[in-house]
Structure 1
Amino acid sequence: MENIVMIGQLLLGLSILIGLHEMGHMLAAKFFGMRVEKFSIGFPPKIVGFKSGETEYSLGAIPLGGFVKISGMIDESLDMDQMGAEPQPWEFRAKPAWQRLIVMMGGIIVNVVLGIIIFVFLTYRYGDTYIPREEVVEHGIVALEYGQQIGLKTGDKILKVNGREYDRFNDVARGADVILGEGSYYTVERNGEILDIPIPSDLLEIFTDKNTADQFITIRMPFKVGEVVKGSNADKAGLQAGDRIVAVNGKQFTYFDEFAEMLSGQSGGEVQFTVQRGETPATQQGVENQVMVEDQNASTVQLTAQVDEEGRVGFYPEPLLDVRREQFGAVESLGKGTEKAFESVWLNIRGFGKIFSGDVNVSKSVKGPIGIREIYGGTWDWTRFWTITGLLSMWLAFVNFLPIPALDGGHVMFLTYEMVSGSKPSDKFLEVAQKAGMILIFAIMGLVLFNDIFNLFV
């Protein structure tokens, strides 16, 4: 079922992105009186199609792209017979260079606008939720497998990144300076000592590998019992939402990672919980005593629970952290959403820079359709879907703008040359350039697909 959901999201996302991209070319061409012969989402063979006016609309069986065939244009169809005849008024080649330039930019512009609209909507709808630096400095972090490998330890309090104070936990967990920086480092407090921990230049690989992305660091989390799974060992033991578990088998603790470790050591056995129930204890009086301070309305109960073989009892923890949320009005969302959209492109460019410099293994960092399918995930989450689709829309615009023949950017490059020099490249030159570009693109697509398949089995 997860695979079906992944594939469904991938196909929907690509259909939106490619359909609107090609529609941008088509509408611009029709606006300037050019004849559009074909509009296709996906490559042949054709699954279904219909003709309306002068244009045949179709859905192709290979959902890895799409195309618009405009009369009198050297494109992927390589229909050179048409180019041998005299130019007709409705043909691409008969129009002024500036009109042809706008047509070729149409798809890129639509993808940029779509990406901005998505990010503006998400910013307006959901705002910005984050954990402030003060919580990280107070509670410290949990160093997971790859956090430990770079020298971090659970309990470290990250004070700075690259010598500068940060604002949010995400800045130290997944910030651009951490993942994409050169010579980056954490400044941490460990048992009263201030240390600098170097951040390796290949850290990006951790965040692009499906098996390691969640094994870096998290914030240490005081907690209370959230939802109790019905029929679980926690439910049978009598745990209730809102309970504060303050000791396991008489041993006190503060953070959820300590609690999880205690349960792991008791897998398959029974444990006794000391639970505070009732009004929320008087917290925020220091880590050492906050979980044991009670007010007059709280009571302490002892519960016995069975631990399963995975070290769990069956409830969801609710963090007791200062999680802040900012909401933005329409005008603010327009600015912040646009900033996020273009920032996503810049971060991807920096990521590719690390690949080309050799700091990051290309086979682990570059994703094709199969890899993107896994990024969408096996559960249908509309917020996640639109976030990823917005990122892909901005990235598709950037990639298409690259000056590679057969891409929109290649056509833009030749048209810009024509406008500046006043001399149009010959049809023969454009044909050869188109063929070379297509060979290059298909070779890259083949390598990316092979890499995706290879990564499925490693």
Structure 2
Amino acid sequence: MIQLAQILFILSVLVILHEFGHYIAAKIFKVRVEKFYLFMDAGFSLVKKKIGETEWGIGWLPLGGYVKLSGMIDESMDTEQMKQEAQPWEFRSKPAWQRLIIMLGGIIVNIVLAWLIYASMYSTVGKKYIDTAVLQEKGLQFGEVGQLVGFKNGDKIVSVDGKFQENFNRMTMDILFSEEIKVDRNGEMVTLNLTDEQIGEILDKEGRNFILPRTTGATIDSVAPKSGAALAGLQKGDSIVSINGKKMTFFDEFTSEVGQHKGSNVALVIARNSKLDTLTTAVSAEGTLGITVPQSIKDDYLITKKMSFGEAIPAAIKESWALLVYNVKSFKLILRPATGAYKQVKSPVGIARQLPDTWNWEFIWNFTALFSIGLAFMNLLPIPGLDGGHALFTIVEMITGKTLSDKAAGYVQTAGMVILLTLMAFTFGKDIFQLVTDKFL
């Protein structure tokens, strides 16, 4: 329920402010706003009240929201009004440049909102990120897919497309968008170029977590019931010192050694309560013992940069621009079918499942800013039915001096809505199916 409450709060903030951007621009240019809705009121409204010329309400379907402007064909598909003579207060009666500003009003507010949130966060709790240089001092540890595509445990990332990324979380994304990766492998410079198919394998099987810091030692976090480790007597908190007489410095060396003894036994020296003991345990056919060790990124790598509000403003603008660029790169990746990135697109249901199950205001505001930039980018896309589609036709009109007929505009809007509803059905269906299978199968 906490996850659901968080996503509804975030969506409500973003939708209300996005639509307010359209509303305030419309009012500046004296366009009548007939409706202002949070969420969609298909069939009926949960709450509605008319104040002045505008009906304010909350719809029952939590899929965005809208403002209905007089004299405009929008998602309401109200074409009857367009058959009447144009009135001075209608959207269609205004000059093209005013209509363009009204269409971009929501996007502008989304970007400004992200600036304000980041500036406020940087000047209060500080800018926080995982330091790549500190994290990879001992090298990096890669998952099975990461190693198959060319990385090796112990590699250090020198640059991605010619740049070193100080934020570790961003670096993992940079690699997925990259054309060239340079790594330091035991003092030797190695260049990697990932194919779309290799990127697809990483996204499908390991995601961003295909890279982790290289951890020293192996302190057991859990033991699977009836596993070889459990039958041998291994316990949570045991530290593995060596395997078959070989001392293990890094945990990835341990897993690699175990993997070479599939279906056989290995001798482990473990430290328990400051004492050493030797145990013999069976290795599964898959090359595992049935143990896990902590793999989370520790706070030791966390950098916090506190700023004055004056310093935070340009930093917030820079961060917002970087996120917009990442959205562009993500969209380009989605358009490359071989990567399978389109499978990773999530609806609010899927996003909610990734949110923490405790209420954390710092996380919520950072996520709201991130989502706000994503919403701005999505609405910039020149798809009929989105702000970008309306803006594109207005720009074409400004250049050519020709206006799209009401009939043609209706067809275009219908096509856009079909595209958007199809995409929504796909993403919601996928995430709901995943939710059901995770819970009941």
TM-score by length of 1: 0.73
Q: Could you tell me which runs of 5 or more consecutive residues in structure 1 were left unpaired when the two chains were aligned.
A: 226-236, 240-244, 263-268, 275-300
Q: Is the CA contact 2:91–2:99 (under 8 Å) kept in the aligned structure 1?
A: yes
Note the alpha carbon deviations across 1:311-346, whole angstroms, 9 max, x for none: 589x99996957544333223221121111121121
Aligned to 1:73: 72
Q: Which residue of 2 is the match for residue 185 of structure 1?
A: 181
Bigger mean CA offset, 376-385 vs 349-358 = 376-385
The aligned residue for residue 27 of structure 2 is 30
Over residues 333-360 of structure 1, what are the superposed CA-to-partner deviations in whole Å (9 max), with x where a residue is unaligned? 2112111112112112212212323331
| Letter aligned with residue 120 of structure 1 | A
Any conservation in 1 of the 2:122–2:305 contact (CA below 8 Å)?
Answer: no
3-state SS of 1:80 partner: coil
Q: Report the Cα offset of residue 126 of structure 1.
A: 2.3
Any idea what the Cα deviations from partners look like across 1:245-266, whole Å, max 9, x if unmatched?
Answer: 896899976557789999xxxx
Residue number in structure 2 paired with 1:51: 50
Question: Could you tell me how far 1:86 is from its partner in structure 2?
Answer: 2.2
1:217 matched to which residue of 2?
211
Q: Distance in 1 between matches of 2:40 and 2:296?
A: 48
Give the equivalent residue in structure 2 for 1:285. none
Q: How far does residue 87 in structure 1 lie from its aligned partner after superposition?
A: 2.3
Find out whether 1:18 has 2:12 as its counterpart.
no
CA gap 1:188/1:318 in 2 versus in 1, 3 angstroms: closer
In the alignment, structure 1 residue 201 sits paired with structure 2 residue 196:
yes
Contact in 2 for aligned 1:40/1:57 (Cα 8 Å):
yes
Q: Could you tell me how far 1:91 is from its partner in structure 2?
A: 2.0
1:344, 1:391 within 8 Å by CA — same for their partners in 2? Answer: yes
Indicate the larger mover: 192-201 or 359-368: 192-201
Counterpart Cα distance in 2 of 1:121 and 1:204: 36
Q: Does the CA-based 8 Å contact 1:50-1:58 persist in structure 2?
A: yes
How high is the TM-score relative to the length of structure 2? Answer: 0.76
Residue 417 (1) aligns with residue 390 (2): no
Change (3 A) 1:82 1:223: same
Q: Which amino acid aligns with 1:158?
A: K
Distance 1:441 1:318 in 2: 38
1:68 offset after TM fit, Å?
A: 0.9
Q: Which amino acid aligns with 1:14?
A: L
In 1, Cα distance between the equivalents of 2:217 and 2:141?
14
Instruction: Say which SS state the counterpart of residue 7 (structure 2) adopts.
Output: helix
Q: 1:46 to 1:188 in 2, by over 3 A?
A: same
Instruction: Please say if 1:92 is aligned against 2:88.
Output: no
**Counterparts of 1:419 and 1:318, CA distance in 2:** 52
Task: Show the 5 A alignment for 1:416-455.
Answer: 416-455=395-434
Return the alpha-carbon distance in structure 2 between the equivalents of residues 422 and 37 of structure 1: 28
CA distance in structure 1 between the partners assigned to 2:32 and 2:429 by the alignment = 38
Shift of 1:394: 1.3
Q: 1:370 aligns with which of 349, 368, 384?
A: 349
Instruction: Give the whole-Å Cα distance in 1 for the aligned partners of 2:161 and 2:76.
Output: 55
1:300-339 aligned at under 5 Å gives the runs 311=291, 324-339=303-318
Other-structure match for 2:379: 400
Distance 1:58 1:452, change over 3 A: same
Aligned pair partner of 2:337 in 350, 358, 383: 358
When the two chains are superposed, the root-mean-square deviation of aligned CA atoms in Å is: 4.2
Q: Paired residue for 1:115?
A: 114
| Higher mean C-alpha deviation, range 144-153 or range 64-73 | 144-153
Instruction: Out of 64-73 and 386-395, give the one that drifted further.
Output: 386-395
- The separation in 2 between residues aligned to 1:390 and 1:451, in whole angstroms, is 26
Q: In the aligned structure 2, how far is the partner of 1:246 from the partner of 1:270?
A: 6
Residue 332 and residue 221 in structure 1: after superposition, are their counterparts in 2 closer, same or farther (change >3 A)?
farther
Instruction: Tell me if structure 2 keeps the 8 A contact 1:345–1:395.
Output: yes
Residue 302 of structure 1 deviates from its aligned partner by 5.5
2-structure distance, mates of 1:260, 1:327:
40
Aligned to 1:161: 159
Partner of 1:170: 168
Q: Deviations over 1:79-113 (max 9, x none)?
A: 22222222223222233332222211111111111
In the aligned structure 2, how far is the partner of 1:320 from the partner of 1:109? 35
Amino acid at match of 1:43: M
Distance in 2 (CA, whole Å) between partners of 1:38 and 1:62 is 16
- Specify every segment of 5 or more residues in structure 2 that has no aligned partner in the other structure, as ranges: 220-234, 258-267, 278-288
Q: Secondary structure at the match of 1:139?
A: coil
Shift of 1:223: 9.1
- Distance of aligned partners of 1:391 and 1:324 in 2 relative to their CA distance in 1, 3 Å threshold: closer
Aligned length: 405
* CA distance in 2: counterparts of 1:181 and 1:247, whole angstroms: 38
1:26 maps to amino acid: Y
Checking the alignment, whether the CA contact within 8 Å between 1:114 and 1:393 is kept in structure 2 is yes
User: % of aligned pairs identical?
Assistant: 34
Change (3 A) 1:96 1:200: closer
CA shift for structure 1 position 63: 0.5
Q: Tell which deviates more after alignment, 196-205 or 117-126.
A: 196-205
Separation in 1, partners of 2:352, 2:11? 10
Shift of 1:40: 0.8
Deviation at 1:409, TM superposition (A): 1.8
SS, match of residue 339 in structure 2: coil
Q: Distance in 2 between matches of 1:417 and 1:164?
A: 38
Counterpart contact for 1:159–1:189, Cα < 8 Å = no
Q: Which residue of 1 aligns with 2:102?
A: 103
Question: What's the CA shift for 1:67?
Answer: 1.2
**Letter of the aligned partner of 2:127 in structure 1?**
G
Q: 2:74, 2:413 within 8 Å by CA — same for their partners in 1?
A: yes
- Write out per-residue CA displacement over residues 401-428 of structure 1, whole angstroms, 9 at most, x where no aligned residue: 2222222122222222333333433222
> Within 2, Cα distance between the matches of 1:203 and 1:153?
15
Structure 1's 224 and 415: CA in aligned 2 closer, same or farther, altered over 3 A? same
